[in-house]
Structure 1
Amino acid sequence: MTARAAALAAIFLLTSLPVAAEQVGARAKGGFPESFFLEKVPRAEAKSTAEKLARAVIAARLIIFAYAGKFVDPNLGDKGFSGEVFETQWRAALEPELIDATPNQKRLFEKLIWAGRQVMDNNQDRINTKGVGWKNFLPAKWEREMGQVFTAKTGIVIKQPGRAYRSPVNVPDDAERAAMEHYIKAGHGENKPLMSTAQWGKQTVYRHMEPIRLMPPCLPCHGKPKGELDIVNFEKDGLETGDLIGLMSVTIAVKD
């Protein structure tokens, strides 16, 4: 076979090979979680605003945790935890944060509380169902839904990216994945928030990330033995109390 014939044969072989199959269901490349920032905070307030919002959400999670036993009691109908009750307790917990809050921060707190209450109101039928134990309502579910409502209201992104996420809403981006790797390598004693600025398109954003560590009530789903199915048929993660389970991630648009 001449060199020319061999080259033509090679070209024919390449063109006859099947094209690599499209990966169906993969995340589209590029883009950002938000592109329309209704709320922008002064650059000088970005750090304290992100910290306050993160602490506020963590406070709400703890309030919800306190009712976890009632949520799974099949003999109990009305749990006594209406949106109004939740809002009252949350506002009381946030009083220290309001002492030095700026007008901008107070306005955002009101929108955060509104979003959190909306989610609690939406879940009343679920949590008050009698005769059923596990109702798939826990602090992580509230936070996930609240974050989406709050983002719709403000353009501020609050999410809880997971070490082994169970909801597509909690898929970590590159920065969040790097933050989790940092906390895992650093061990239980490293809880200092990671802060940075970034560009989401033409918009400068301030990013705040801090670890969410596994609490004892979370062990039945995320503890040991690793790989065993939990109550909702996810495989357990094999983690221990204090291990990193995810992040509290807050991203705020800034203005000069």
Structure 2
Amino acid sequence: MKARFTSLIVSAVVCAMVMGGASFARAGDESETAELLIALLKSGRAVVSEHQALINDPSKGNKGFTDEFMAHQVIEKFKAKTRVDLSRPNGAPQNGVLLALLEAEREVVLEGQPVINKQGVAFKGFIPAVFARKSGEKFYKKTGIRLKLTGTDYRFPGNKPDDFESEVLRMFADSRHPKGQQYAKATMVGGKPVMRVMDPEYAGPTCLTCHGGPKGERDITGTKKEGWKEGDLAGAISVVVPMR
């Protein structure tokens, strides 16, 4: 059964790649495509978060947190959120691009196996934010669609907001903006038409371990904490989808 699942995903991704990255968004509305990509990235990140204690367990070697295990979990979580079943061929018009992101997420987990399974080390650095960033980078190389985490208090240079993102983040931070409401706009990037979608994210309890108080104190990664409180705007997921 596992072999059949793996074969199905790989075959679907290969077919999608043959179509060409730019054609992914043409299968459906670009805004909807962006929203589904955000949901899929969140699903993958949630799976990593739910297994963080296992990943960081220094007493265990092989954790069983493989790319195949992760993909099964992500597919189920994504289906519950969106009713799109990525285990079924042609489950949605955006299947090609969604499977490309799923494959990127699998690659990140596969490449992380030596770290994840290392005994004697508690904190591995394989955390949801790193997983999401690396998945977005791989996904961009596959499709030309940008998918990144961004925020005013960014830590990784690649997450630095551009002018558009900075403006939207200010809007999200305004108390008059409905909490949780996405922002989408058709605009130009590099002289080409794109759909830009940003989804606000807010600090939850697990975020505060590294980003909470006291402000300025070093967290487990050695970085200074930002002093966030639960519910504060933490940043956003930003997507740039080429338009037809």
TM-score by shorter chain over 0.5: yes
**Structure 1: which 5+ runs fail to align?**
1-36
Tell me how far apart the structure 1 counterparts of residues 133 and 28 of structure 2 sit (CA, whole Å): 28
Deviations for 1:181-232, whole angstroms, at most 9, x for unmatched residues?
A: 1222227951100000111123100011011211211212100001111111
Give yes or no for contact 2:171–2:177 (8 Å, CA) kept in 1: no
Question: What is the SS of the residue equivalent to 1:39?
Answer: helix
> What's the % identity of the aligned pairs?
33
Query: Match of 1:76?
Result: 60
Deviations for 1:126-154, whole angstroms, at most 9, x for unmatched residues?
A: 11111111111111101100101000000
Tell me how far apart the structure 1 counterparts of residues 46 and 96 of structure 2 sit (CA, whole Å): 23
Give yes or no for contact 1:220–1:230 (8 Å, CA) kept in 2: yes
Deviations for 1:140-183, whole angstroms, at most 9, x for unmatched residues?
A: 10110010100000000000012211111111111111121122
Tell me how far apart the structure 2 counterparts of residues 178 and 164 of structure 1 sit (CA, whole Å): 14
Give yes or no for contact 2:116–2:124 (8 Å, CA) kept in 1: yes
**Map 1:20-99 → 2, pairs under 5 A:** 38-40=21-23, 41-42=25-26, 45-95=29-79, 96-98=83-85
**Structure 2: which 5+ runs fail to align?**
1-19
Deviations for 1:75-105, whole angstroms, at most 9, x for unmatched residues?
A: 22222210010011112223312499643x0
Letter in 2 for 1:51: E
Instruction: Give TM-score scaled by structure 2 length.
Output: 0.83
Instruction: Give TM-score scaled by structure 1 length.
Output: 0.80
Pair 1:142 & 2:131 matched: yes
Out of 154, 161, 166, which is 1:165 matched to?
Answer: 154
**Map 1:184-199 → 2, pairs under 5 A:** 184-186=173-175, 190-199=179-188
Letter in 2 for 1:146: S
Q: Evaluate the alpha carbon distance shift between residue 243 and residue 102 of structure 1 in structure 2; reply closer, same or farther with a 3 A threshold.
A: same
Tell me how far apart the structure 1 counterparts of residues 178 and 192 of structure 2 sit (CA, whole Å): 34
Tell me how far apart the structure 2 counterparts of residues 76 and 43 of structure 1 sit (CA, whole Å): 44
Provide the aligned C-alpha RMSD in A. 2.0
Whichever of the two has the greater Rg, that structure is: 1
Question: What is the SS of the residue equivalent to 2:102?
Answer: helix
